[in-house]
Amino acid sequence: MPLVRIDLSEEAAETLGQDIGELVYQAMVDVINVPRDDKFQIITWHGWHQLVHPEKYLGIEYSPGIVFIQITLNQGRSVEMKKAFYRRVADDLHSKLGVRLQDIVINLVEVPKENWSFGNGEMQYA
């Protein structure tokens, strides 16, 4: 179960968060083998003072349109799968939604399967 958190500016278009969520979900299914219907997302809009970032980091210049995508997911994907996933998400957000490539920050947080409960106070994956 990936848990996707998408954080973006309140200045963004009203549908941008859901559109990003759909593209991220499709990339997870296609590239990193997430099962269909395994879609849990939290989308949050923030004021300019709540999205704190440098103007430039590692040679990348950011704009007020920065988008943070953090995904907590089970351990086990290869570096190559992760690279392909980052590329797919960035390319899709840029080509389909007009998000600047430089403004797409993705963070994967890998956890053991026993760190999930899908409800009922149970550890379904253990």
Just give the CATH number of 3-115: 3.30.429.10
**Residues known to be catalytic:** 2
Give the model's pLDDT for residue 48: 87
Q: What is the pLDDT of residues 29-46, one digit of tens each?
A: 999 999 999 999 999 999
Q: Rounded to whole angstroms, how far apart are CA atoms 36 and 84?
A: 19
Gap between the Cα atoms of 99 and 84, Å rounded: 18
Quick: pLDDT tens for 16-31.
Answer: 999 999 999 999 999 9
Per-domain boundaries in the chain: 3-115
Write out the two tokens for 73. 């997911």
pLDDT, tens only, 71-92: 999 999 999 999 999 999 999 9
Q: Which of 17, 15, 16, 37 is nearest to 26 (CA)?
A: 37
Local structure of 38: helix, strand or coil: coil
